[in-house]
Each structure stands twice: as structure tokens, then as C-alpha cells.
Amino acid sequence: MSSQDVTSLTNFFQNTCGLAPEEKQLSVSGKNWGEVDLNGNMLSFLVDSRQAFEVSLADVSQTQLQGKNDVMLEFHVDDTTGANEFVGGESRPPAQVFPDKIMSMADVGAGGEDVVVTFDGIAILTPRCRYNVELHLSFLRLQGQANDFKIQYSSVVRLFLLPKSIQPHTFVIVTLDPLIRKGQTLYPHIVLQFETEYVVESTLSVKEDLLNTKYKDKLEPTYK
């Protein structure tokens, strides 16, 4: 882009939008190593102190630790500033600190919501582990020791309630599209196991005005 083009665009934005564009140096070297910078709800990858790309953490659905030093981010289909240094210890190396930091920030901003209700230590048979299940207004979150899944309700295509014969358990099966991934395996279903006779009473953390307007006749303040 020539200097004349820059001047024309600058004048256009100033006159039309009242904004003054700023020049920003980007990395076009093609290198795939550098530094990670977390700023607000954005993750930037820097090469030689220049931005190579950035992603919104509101689009992150889950993180997974691959081996000892690699972290994989997965995205939905459809406040820190300055330098960020992830320092670990004997029990928490940097590669483990990093995904926790990502997920804590992925739940703020455009994609963030308060927890409506939480069920602790739920046995999930697929993918197998015990998870804390958080229900939000637009998504559910499964928090395990090694994995953290954030699933939009729009990805849920079927729900099945299946009592298990002989044994005192009931399965809740959640069918998903798109699928979730754990390691190299894709899972089209989440299978949750509950004790059939166990009774839980929960109060929803939803503002009263929302219950009386948007969720009127859809949600109750308490469930048992």
C-alpha cells in the first residue's frame, strides 16, 4: 500500500467514522515460534515482538495439554496487560499453567456468563472421568482434572434419559454436533451417570427479572 493510499484511508476514517487509524507492524516472516501475549480477552502470537496473529478467547471451547510442553486450543465451530510470563514449579510446569489461564479468560467478555448451577463430581462414562458440571445460560462446562470442555447448547441435538436395569443408576446421554475431542478421539455423545434414588435440591443463580421475562414458564427458581 502506497503512502498516498494510507493518507486517503486515514482521511476517510477520520471524516466518516471520527477514528484515527494507527499503524501496526505485523510479522510476515512465516516463523512458527515466538511469544504469547494475553491482553484482555485476546491472545496474540508474537514473532520478534511483532504480531503474527490473534484470536478471541471467547471462541475457545477447550484446551488440552499434549505431552509435557504442548498445549492445544480448540475453537467453537460456528485483565491482563503487557507481558505475560507463565511460570511453573515442581508440580505445575508452564505448559499446565497456560491452559488454565486460557480457560479462565475464555469465560469472560462476549462468551462469559455466570454459573447458573453446578453439580460436583459427576461420573461421566464417555469421555470417562469425573467432572464438575457447570450449567450456564447458553453453554455447559465440564471441568475435569485433565480436560475442560465448554459446549454450546446449540451443539446439543438430542437428550436421552435411560434408567439402567438391575443397577441403581440412570444415564443421561447428550448427543452433540459438532463432536468434542479428547486426545485423538472424537466423541459424539456425553454419557453421564447418576444414582437413581439420589435426590438433589438446587437453586438457580438467575436474576429474578430474567426469570420473570425471558425465562418465564421455562425455568423455575428451584429444582428437586
Assess whether 26 and 77 both reside in one domain.
Answer: yes
The DSSP annotation for 89-153 comes to -SSS-HHHHHHHHHHHHHTSGGG----SEEEEEEEEEETTEEEEEEE-SSEEEEE-SS-EEEEEG
pLDDT score for 171: 93
Angle at 79 between CA 102 and CA 69, to 5 degrees: 25
Of 110, 143, 171, the residue at which a domain comes to its end is 110
pLDDT digit string, tens, across residues 139-178: 898 988 878 888 889 899 999 999 887 788 999 999 998 8
Q: What is the pTM of this model?
A: 0.54
| Helix, strand or coil, per DSSP, at residue 182 | strand
Assess whether 106 and 117 both reside in one domain.
Answer: no
pLDDT score for 10: 87
pLDDT score for 91: 57
For residue 178, cis peptide bond before it (omega within 30 degrees of 0): yes
Assess whether 128 and 84 both reside in one domain.
Answer: no
pLDDT score for 89: 52
CATH number of residue 207's parent domain? 2.30.29.150
Ranges of the chain whose pLDDT falls below 70: 1, 77-112
pLDDT score for 13: 85
On whether the CB atoms of residues 8 and 1 are closer than 8 A, the answer is: no
| Helix, strand or coil, per DSSP, at residue 222 | strand
Assess whether 123 and 93 both reside in one domain.
Answer: no
On whether the CB atoms of residues 33 and 19 are closer than 8 A, the answer is: no
Assess whether 41 and 106 both reside in one domain.
Answer: yes
| Euclidean distance between CA atoms 79 and 101, whole angstroms | 11
Q: Which residue has the cell 425465562?
A: 215
Number of domains present in the structure of the chain: 2
pLDDT score for 94: 60
Q: Which domain holds residue 204?
A: 113-223
pLDDT score for 108: 38
Which one, of 80, 60, 88, lies nearest residue 152 by Cα?
60
| Euclidean distance between CA atoms 180 and 64, whole angstroms | 12
| Euclidean distance between CA atoms 154 and 167, whole angstroms | 32
Of 79, 110, 141, the residue at which a domain comes to its end is 110
CB burial of 106-123 (b: ≥16 within 10 Å; e: otherwise) equals: bbeeebeeeebbeeeebe
pLDDT score for 84: 46
pLDDT score for 122: 93
pLDDT score for 158: 93
CATH number of residue 44's parent domain? 2.30.29.220
